[in-house]
Amino acid sequence: MLDGREALRQIDRAIEQSRGEAETLKQSLADISEREVALRGGARLALEELARFRLDQTRAGALSASIAGLDREVEELMAARQRESEELERRLAGMSKTMARLEERRAEAASATESAADALDGAEQQLQATLEQDAEYVTRHEATEQAETVAVEAEHKHALAAEDRRVKGAPYEADPLFMYLWARGYGTPDYRRAGLIRMGDNWVARLIRYEGARRNYFMLNEIPVRLGEHAERMRAAADADIDALATYEAAARQDTEIPALESALQEAQAGVEAIDAEIADARDQAREDEALS
């Protein structure tokens, strides 16, 4: 939802733009009419001169008839333009009345929105001051902050361990013999090979000193897992404290006038949005009138 003050500023700009478009449209129509009449009049004078000085009487008579027809066309054109001008004036008058009504409603919406916002801000500040004097709230708030600090630190340690595992684990993972034995679970209860395969694996293990490397690689993988589990527990605990604090604050809010003030502000902002929509419709209509002209 738009902030009330910003919506009103947008309305002001839209109203000024609509007025400008209307004035431009009116001036364009007047200019077109003047140019067309001038062109028609010039053509008439030119024909009369031509008839007077260069044509014989018979042809001059026929040309005079043409000139008379041209005069009638000019008159009809002027009459049509006059009707169009009157229609445009009617539309402009209607647009001006619409904009005046919108300005009046905008002023009412501005007053209602600002009053509702100020009242809500005051109630929020009063609630915060009350909670700061509430011993239980203070205790909950401090516990929540501490839990959040612990969770963030645990997540940071997990991230460092994961990066350490990525860097230090690369040499192990680049050794095909080590990874071969690791994949088979060599040195753990999961290893199930026997006979010549077991003998071969034992030889490879001794060759690359597998057992020490296996323990190191195991711990390198295990530390991020354990730290990750710890970080998840700390985050869950912090989130639980945050939710509990939010519930406590919400209960305190319900005992104040804040819910009613929030509803009043929403209604005022809805009024602003409705005016904004009407202004948009008025601007669209102005563009349609311009296109038809």
pLDDT for the residue 64: 63
My answer on whether 128 and 273 are in the same domain is yes
Residues 6+ apart with CB under 8 A from 253: 127, 259
Q: What is the pLDDT of residues 163-212, one digit of tens each?
A: 999 999 999 999 999 999 999 999 898 898 888 988 898 998 999 999 99
> Which residues fall within 8 angstroms of residue 126, CB to CB, at 6 or more apart?
256
Distance of CA 54 to the CA centre of its chain: 73
Position 1 pLDDT exceeds 90: no
Q: How many separate domains does the chain show? A: 2
Give the residue-averaged pLDDT of 56-68. 60
Structural domain span for residue 249: 135-258
Look at residue 2 in the predicted model and tell me its pLDDT. 47
* Residue 52 pLDDT exceeds 80: no
Per-residue model confidence (pLDDT) at position 11? 53
The two tokens of residue 293 are 């002209």
Q: How confident is the model at residue 23 (pLDDT cuts 50, 70, 90)?
A: low
Q: Is the pTM of this model over 0.85?
A: no
Contact 279, 14 (CB under 8 A): yes
pLDDT of residue 20: 63
Q: How far apart are CA 182 and CA 263, in angstroms?
A: 64
Same domain, 18 and 101: yes
* 126 and 8 housed in the same domain: yes
Cβ count near 187 (within 10 Å): 17
Q: Are residues 98 and 140 in the same domain?
A: no
Higher pLDDT, 110 or 293: 110
Same domain assignment for residues 105 and 8: yes
Residues 170, 120 share a domain:
no
Amino acid at site 240 = A
Task: State the virtual CA torsion across 242, 245, 246, 249 in degrees, nearest 10.
Answer: -160
Q: Are residues 252 and 269 in the same domain?
A: no
Q: Cα(269)–Cα(140) distance, rounded to whole angstroms?
A: 35
Residues 119, 87, single domain; the answer is yes
User: What percent of the chain shows pLDDT beyond 70?
Assistant: 72
Query: Among residues 176, 220, 175, 184, which one has the least CA distance to residue 202?
Result: 184
Do 156 and 199 lie in one domain? The reply is yes
pLDDT for res 19: 59
Give the mean model confidence (pLDDT) for residues 22-45.
Answer: 57
Q: How far apart are CA 268 and CA 271, in angstroms?
A: 5
My answer on whether 153 and 115 are in the same domain is no
Residues 10 and 105 in one domain: yes
Would you say residue 28 has pLDDT above 70? no
Q: Are residues 286 and 234 in the same domain?
A: no
